[in-house]
Amino acid sequence: MKGLGVFGLISLLLVSVLGLYSCTFMREFEAVEREIQDDYVATATTLRGIASKTEIASDTPYHFAARAFDAWLTVREQVAAMLQEPMPIDQPATNIQLRRLRNRILKQLAESLPIQKLGFAEYCAISKRWQAILARPQFTKMQEEWNRRVRVSSDPNPLPLPPPAKDATKDELALVTLNSVRLVASLEADKLTKLLERILGGE
């Protein structure tokens, strides 16, 4: 009986220690979750506050010009570079790590846009327009790369290309053709399309 009492006491102590550890771990986890979410909300607010000099009308097709396209491509390449960085082998890609990476990329975007004199809505409009031009039949090779690297079959919500831009101007087509190598090299940036659209819409 005495031995059983000692065993019971040890078990009670173990349960108490594990319970205390679990509570501490949960508090720390919740604090990290709040930090990541607060960081995301603050950065999203900053992005929405980066105004475009060019008015972006929702009821008319957007046509990009050379200066804005070049600025957009520069920012796009910076975003893609961060997405293309390999995750450390000793650090598995957890949900928390991926969300922190998302926040870092959004911060980079928020820092880069003013430097390039580009508004957030303008960046999103050019991205949408580029995808519509990419959907045209003369860009089949680039579409194959898009399907392989952006519209991934394992993604539960694959990103399709929008309807092709039948009203694309000669200048727009020339800019896409001239910069095709850089555009394909930075395709990873298009993976943020849905996220940026949600942010732009205020979500």
* Per-residue model confidence as pLDDT tens digits over 103-113: 999 999 999 99
Q: Given this model, what pLDDT does residue 180 score? A: 97
Q: Given this model, what pLDDT does residue 202 score? A: 83
Q: In which residue are the tokens 């929008």 written?
A: 162
Q: Given this model, what pLDDT does residue 1 score? A: 45
Tokens for 76? 């796009």
Q: Rounded to whole angstroms, what are the CA distances from 157 to 95, 133, 176, 196?
A: 17, 22, 26, 15
- Dump pLDDT digits (tens) for 119-158: 999 999 999 999 999 999 999 999 999 998 887 655 566 7
Residues 133 and 162: their CA atoms lie apart, in Å, by: 9
Q: Given this model, what pLDDT does residue 186 score? A: 96
Tokens for 26? 């949960």
Helix (DSSP H) and strand (DSSP E) numbers for the chain: 8, 0
Helical segments of 151-192, H only: 170-178, 180-185
Q: Given this model, what pLDDT does residue 23 score? A: 59
Nearest to 40 by CA among 28, 32, 52, 29: 32
Q: Given this model, what pLDDT does residue 4 score? A: 47
Residues 96 and 102: their CA atoms lie apart, in Å, by: 10
112: alpha, beta or left? (left if phi > 0; alpha if psi -120 to 50): alpha
Mean residue pLDDT of the chain comes to: 84
Q: Given this model, what pLDDT does residue 7 score? A: 53
The list of the chain residues with pLDDT below 70 reads 1-30, 32, 87-93, 152-157
Residues 77 and 155: their CA atoms lie apart, in Å, by: 23
Residue 128: exposure state from Cβ atoms within 10 A (0-12, 13-18, ≥19)? middle
Q: Given this model, what pLDDT does residue 96 score? A: 80
Q: Domain coordinates of the chain in residue numbers?
A: 2-200
Residues 190 and 184: their CA atoms lie apart, in Å, by: 10
